[in-house]
């Protein structure tokens, strides 16, 4: 286990998943599904993906007043996460995500955030202790937006790098872009943040605008198309690894968590690092579930070396 410390502050959900032939339309019932329950939440998924790369990762989340909470905490610890500062709600249940996954691996998610909504600034305190030894703060958008905005500002005050993944899609205050070191977005999230329709021809211009507004690195995940990276110094495009998708849930989270681990260890983003992160998310889509599909470091390395430059 390395000494770099990533701090992820974000959501935890219990994912109730039905794998079915096709996603239901409004008013339609699709039968013959197969049910599975596993742990998820964008915060927890990203924290776990980073920890599985053997980088010291602390996870702060808010769990509910239900039987899931104790099991989740134990599960996080067993999966190498540092969980000394987990919060518990006394009035809300743990977050629940209802997820439909189609035969070709696409999903659609309905979320009841529950305790995640109580991850507020009032419930997080003692900034000196909270950010002690932290090199990279990782945030997503399944906790209150006000908390995210305040955390980004606090981290900057303390000179801590910030990786922000505005998922599910949200619009952040533009002035915060100057405080974001790594902005990881998919196409929809980029469109929301930039206010522009994105295509392959204007990707560079739109990400360039975000750099001009102060963001230091923009990483755009494009699913099967791969990843585009833009900073003041360079731009890189990498292709995704072609795999048979079973369930794409959590693939973006796996990418973010592994990227966070790579940044904490090496800092500079290269083609190889982006490819390595794509390898981790490629593995994750070949398996069911968000957290059960996150690969270990050994597994990711093996896949990366066997498939890269083939």
Residue 15 makes contact with ligand RIB by CB under 6 A: yes
**Cα 100–chain centre separation:** 19
Q: How many residues sit close enough to ligand RIB to count as binding (CB under 6 A)?
A: 14
4, 45, 94, 165: residue in contact with ligand RIB (rule CB under 6 A): 45
Which among 39-47, 68-76, 148-156, 300-308 is the span making contact with ligand RIB, rule CB under 6 A?
39-47
Residue 91 CB neighbours (<10 A): 9
Nearer to ligand RIB, 15 or 181 (CB): 15
Residue 102 Cβ vs ligand RIB, minimum distance, rounded to whole Å: 15
Residue 278 Cβ vs ligand RIB, minimum distance, rounded to whole Å: 17
Site string for ligand RIB, 231-260 (x = CB under 6 A): ------------------xx--x-------
Residue 109 makes contact with ligand RIB by CB under 6 A: yes
Residue 44 Cβ vs ligand RIB, minimum distance, rounded to whole Å: 8
Which among 37-45, 66-74, 182-190, 197-205 is the span making contact with ligand RIB, rule CB under 6 A?
37-45
- Are 81 and 51 in contact, with CB atoms under 8 Å apart? yes
What does the block give as tokens for 71?
A: 């099991």
- Are 290 and 253 in contact, with CB atoms under 8 Å apart? yes
Nearer to ligand RIB, 181 or 247 (CB): 247
5, 42, 154, 161: residue in contact with ligand RIB (rule CB under 6 A): 42
7, 8, 19, 40: residue in contact with ligand RIB (rule CB under 6 A): 40
Nearer to ligand RIB, 40 or 295 (CB): 40
Residue reference for tokens 């600034």 = 121
Residue 290 makes contact with ligand RIB by CB under 6 A: yes
* C-alpha–C-alpha distance, residues 135 and 3, integer Å: 10
Residue 108 Cβ vs ligand RIB, minimum distance, rounded to whole Å: 11
Site string for ligand RIB, 128-157 (x = CB under 6 A): --------------x---------------
Q: Which residue sits closest to ligand RIB, CB atoms considered?
A: 40
Which among 36-44, 62-70, 84-92, 262-270 is the span making contact with ligand RIB, rule CB under 6 A?
36-44
Q: Annotated catalytic sites, by residue? A: 253
As to burial, measured by CB atoms within 10 angstroms (0-12 exposed, 13-18 middle, 19+ buried), residue 232 is exposed
Residue 204 Cβ vs ligand RIB, minimum distance, rounded to whole Å: 27
Interacting residue ranges for ligand RIB, rule: CB under 6 A: 13, 15, 40-42, 45, 97, 109, 111, 142, 249-250, 253, 290
């Amino acid at each position: 286990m390395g000494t770099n410390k990533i701090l992820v502050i974000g959501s935890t959900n219990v994912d109730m998943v039905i794998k079915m032939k096709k996603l239901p339309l409004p008013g339609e019932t699709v039968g013959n599904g197969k049910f599975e329950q596993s742990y998820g939440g964008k915060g927890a998924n990203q924290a776990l993906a980073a920890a599985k790369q053997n980088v010291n990762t602390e996870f702060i989340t808010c769990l509910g007043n239900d039987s899931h909470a104790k099991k989740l905490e134990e599960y996080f610890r067993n999966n190498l996460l540092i969980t000394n500062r987990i919060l518990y709600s006394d009035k809300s249940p743990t977050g629940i995500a209802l997820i439909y996954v189609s035969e070709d691996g696409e999903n659609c998610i309905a979320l009841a955030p529950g305790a995640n909504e109580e991850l507020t600034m009032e419930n997080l305190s003692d900034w000196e202790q909270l950010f002690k030894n932290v090199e990279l703060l990782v945030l997503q958008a399944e906790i209150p937006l006000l908390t995210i905005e305040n955390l980004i500002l606090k981290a900057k005050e303390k000179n801590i790098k910030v990786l922000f993944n505005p998922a599910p899609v949200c619009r952040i205050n533009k002035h915060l872009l100057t405080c974001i070191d790594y902005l990881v977005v998919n196409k929809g999230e980029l469109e929301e943040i930039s206010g522009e329709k994105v295509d392959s021809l204007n990707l560079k211009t739109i990400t360039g605008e975000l750099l001009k507004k102060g963001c230091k690195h923009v990483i755009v995940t494009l699913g099967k198309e791969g990843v585009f990276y833009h900073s003041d110094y360079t731009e890189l495009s990498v292709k995704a690894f072609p795999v048979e998708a079973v369930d794409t849930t959590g693939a973006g989270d796996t990418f973010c968590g592994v990227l966070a681990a790579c940044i904490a260890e090496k800092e500079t983003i290269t083609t190889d690092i982006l490819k390595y992160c794509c390898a981790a998310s490629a593995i994750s889509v070949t398996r069911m579930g968000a957290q059960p599909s996150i690969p270990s470091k050994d597994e990711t390395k093996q896949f990366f070396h066997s498939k890269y430059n083939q």
